[in-house]
């Protein structure tokens, strides 16, 4: 077997990085909007190279780790070369710019090398995070996996026992500071614990467990970024214990990732605000006790995102199959306000349920405007404070789905006999499983690194990169897991079909892949 050569891996990564830098300079001299294909390809290539670079330290920790690193670097550079080939002028490089990497790619993309790589590799977590992993893995195995398929097939609800069980484990308070009743103590440990817990819950089920802690995470970050002390004291302890559970209402029928175009209005009235308009893709909206609503408080639409404010909007719990709520005239509310939730059926990611929600003069108390008077016009920034962390968390969800798919495919390959041999004995299957393991481990290690950066107040670009790269990779991993199952992969009785349809949503929510690449990653690269 070819031995790992991390010196060569580092050199190849730098060759790839130089191509990315050249393309970035070329794009900076033109216009992203006029060269969207280049900008999109560059964003994904840069994300792949960043993932490869982050893996170099991991590769130095052992032989298996070194082989995983070399295999991933070879794949990432191969993907870049495929994007550049025939478009060298557009990328601002000479033909053959990556020729120096050919020997490395030949060695570590060799099917024999991949087929011999039969271990997923250790995670190298500190003992305290291994405990977090073990705790949440047990919960996923015992509480989520047994019900995940039933919830998926029936489009059922998340059992209250799952929510209360996670609350008892402190899952909803991982990022809430201790002084507000949570377990967050600041520093990188808080972020890594969130990533580890999210992965394990998503491995159990994306729709039943993996996404439950994302919504309170977004509201927590928004409150910490702009909330008054009174608001933090009011809401954070309730989020930590699930006395209050929230959903996010930002997207609108005509405005998805283009948040600056939001039309839902909030107008002043006695003692508060009246919400009018329609939000869509409000996940968990029926079960939630409050909605986090981004609304236009400045009627001057030319101000774009600077005219938006963020509200905490109390509501009663509604039926998951659709609800219509009418406010009573209590606590300063004029009464008569209406909120109607229409469910949106989806191919996967079931259990959480998504809704189109219409507001008709729905009253919100003045004290529920995040930041109060000083928060007017700053809602976009508070929302983004939550969404940046949400991107890292989404990457962790993708890793969990990939891990589940890999484990299912590996087990099936051992059990399924074709032409007198287990399919796991065949080179093609072994190479596929190896590549799945390599991608999953690389994504995981990059997520750990991004968590450490974000703990230091950095990593905004890297959080977008890890989301873009990992979520797209999850589609390939789950597709290959389904393919290894053959015809049974297309049958609902095997979990792998659920992993495939669940993975598809990951590149859409928390920032659609195209918008994330063009409006965030590419722009920050050329800035």
* Distance from C-alpha of 157 to C-alpha of 141, rounded to nearest angstrom: 19
- What is the pLDDT at residue 174? 86
pLDDT in tens, 265-322: 999 998 899 999 999 999 999 999 999 999 999 888 777 788 999 999 999 999 999 9
**Of 90, 199, 480, 510, catalytic:** 510
- What is the pLDDT at residue 122? 95
Region 462-482 average pLDDT: 96
What pairs with residue 269 in β-bridges?
Answer: 272
pLDDT in tens, 26-53: 999 999 999 999 999 999 999 999 999 9
* Distance from C-alpha of 152 to C-alpha of 155, rounded to nearest angstrom: 5
Clarify whether 510 is annotated catalytic.
yes
Least confident of 40-44, 403-407, 414-418: 414-418
- DSSP state for residue 332 in the 8-state scheme: T
Burial class (CB in 10 A: 0-12, 13-18, 19+), 299: exposed
For residue 332, what pLDDT band results from cuts at 50, 70 and 90?
Answer: confident
Say if residue 257's pLDDT is above 90: no
* Residue range(s) occupied by CATH 2.40.110.10 in the chain: 246-379
For residue 256, what pLDDT band results from cuts at 50, 70 and 90?
Answer: low
- What is the pLDDT at residue 514? 94
Region 189-201 average pLDDT: 93
Alpha helices by DSSP H, 377-509: 379-415, 427-455, 460-484, 496-504
- Type and span of the H or E element at 324: strand 323-326
For residue 260, what pLDDT band results from cuts at 50, 70 and 90?
Answer: low
Give which of 127, 95, 267 is closest to 193, Cα–Cα.
Answer: 127
Percentage of residues of the chain with pLDDT beyond 70: 99
**pTM recorded for the entire structure:** 0.94
Beta carbons of 474 and 398 less than 8 angstroms apart: yes
- Type and span of the H or E element at 364: strand 354-365
Burial class (CB in 10 A: 0-12, 13-18, 19+), 281: buried
* Distance from C-alpha of 193 to C-alpha of 183, rounded to nearest angstrom: 10
| Max Cα–Cα distance, the chain, nearest Å | 78
Parallel, antiparallel, or unpaired: how do β-strands 323-326 and 338-344 relate? Answer: antiparallel
* Distance from C-alpha of 232 to C-alpha of 311, rounded to nearest angstrom: 13
Say if residue 223's pLDDT is above 70: yes
Nearest 5°: the CA angle 393, 398, 404 is 130
For residue 148, what pLDDT band results from cuts at 50, 70 and 90?
Answer: very high
- What is the pLDDT at residue 186? 74
Query: CATH assignment of 246-379?
Result: 2.40.110.10
Beta carbons of 292 and 247 less than 8 angstroms apart: yes
Q: Is the dihedral of CA 489, 494, 498, 499 positive or negative?
A: negative
For residue 479, what pLDDT band results from cuts at 50, 70 and 90?
Answer: very high
* Distance from C-alpha of 145 to C-alpha of 64, rounded to nearest angstrom: 29
pLDDT in tens, 70-109: 999 999 999 999 999 999 999 999 999 999 999 999 999 9
Beta carbons of 277 and 265 less than 8 angstroms apart: yes
Contacts of 48 (CB under 8 A, 6+ apart): 76, 79, 80, 469
For residue 408, what pLDDT band results from cuts at 50, 70 and 90?
Answer: very high
Say if residue 137's pLDDT is above 80: yes
Looking at per-residue confidence, does 213 or 361 come out higher?
361
* Distance from C-alpha of 206 to C-alpha of 200, rounded to nearest angstrom: 10
Q: How distant, in Å, are the alpha carbons of 122, 272, 363 from that of 332?
A: 57, 8, 9
Say if residue 440's pLDDT is above 60: yes
């Amino acid at each position: 077997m070819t031995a790992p050569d991390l010196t060569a891996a580092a050199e190849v990564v730098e060759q790839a990085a130089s191509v990315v830098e050249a393309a970035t300079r070329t794009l900076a001299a033109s216009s992203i909007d006029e060269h969207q294909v280049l900008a999109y390809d560059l964003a994904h290539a840069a994300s792949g190279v960043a993932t490869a670079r982050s893996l170099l330290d991991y590769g130095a920790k052992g032989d298996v780790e070194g082989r995983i690193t070399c295999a991933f670097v070879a794949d990432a550079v191969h993907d870049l070369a495929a994007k550049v080939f025939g478009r060298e002028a557009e990328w601002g490089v000479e033909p053959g710019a990556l020729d120096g990497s050919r020997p490395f790619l030949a060695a570590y993309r060799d099917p024999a090398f991949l087929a011999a790589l039969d271990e997923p590799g250790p995670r190298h977590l500190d003992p305290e995070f291994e405990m977090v992993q073990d705790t949440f893995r047990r919960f996923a195995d015992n509480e989520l996996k047994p019900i995940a398929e039933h919830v998926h097939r029936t489009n059922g609800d998340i059992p209250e026992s799952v929510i209360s069980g996670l609350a008892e484990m402190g899952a909803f308070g991982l990022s809430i500071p201790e002084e507000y009743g949570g377990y967050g103590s600041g520093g990188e440990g808080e972020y890594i614990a969130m990533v580890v817990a999210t992965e394990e819950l998503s491995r159990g089920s994306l729709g039943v467990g993996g996404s439950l802690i994302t919504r309170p995470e977004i509201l927590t970050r928004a409150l910490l970024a702009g909330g008054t002390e009174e608001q933090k004291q009011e809401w954070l302890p309730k989020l930590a214990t699930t006395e209050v559970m929230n959903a996010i209402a930002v997207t609108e029928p005509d405005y998805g990732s283009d948040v600056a175009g939001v039309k839902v209005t909030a107008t002043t009235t006695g003692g508060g605000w009246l919400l009018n308009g329609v939000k869509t893709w409000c996940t968990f909206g029926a079960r939630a006790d409050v909605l986090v609503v981004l609304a236009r408080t400045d009627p001057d639409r030319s101000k774009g995102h600077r005219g938006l404010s963020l509200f905490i909007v109390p509501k009663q719990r509604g039926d998951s199959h659709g609800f219509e709520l009418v406010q009573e005239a209590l606590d300063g509310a004029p009464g008569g306000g209406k909120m109607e939730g229409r469910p949106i059926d989806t191919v996967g990611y079931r259990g959480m349920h998504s809704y189109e929600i219409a507001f008709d003069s729905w009253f919100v108390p003045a004290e529920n405007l995040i930041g109060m008077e000083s928060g007017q016009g700053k809602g976009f920034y508070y929302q983004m404070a939550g969404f940046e962390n949400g991107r890292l968390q989404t990457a962790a969800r993708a890793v969990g789905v990939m891990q589940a798919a890999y484990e299912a495919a590996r087990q099936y390959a051992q059990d399924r006999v074709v032409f007198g041999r287990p399919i796991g004995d065949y080179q093609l299957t072994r190479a596929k499983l190896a590549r799945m393991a390599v991608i999953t481990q690389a994504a995981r290690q990059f997520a750990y690194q991004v968590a450490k950066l974000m703990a230091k107040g950095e990593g905004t670009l890297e959080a977008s990169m890890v989301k873009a790269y990992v979520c797209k990779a999850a589609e390939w991993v789950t597709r290959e897991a389904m393919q290894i199952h053959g015809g049974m992969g297309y049958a609902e009785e095997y979990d792998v079909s659920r992993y495939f349809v669940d993975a598809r949503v990951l590149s859409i929510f928390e920032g659609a892949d195209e918008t994330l690449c063009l409006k965030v990653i590419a722009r920050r690269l050329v800035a």
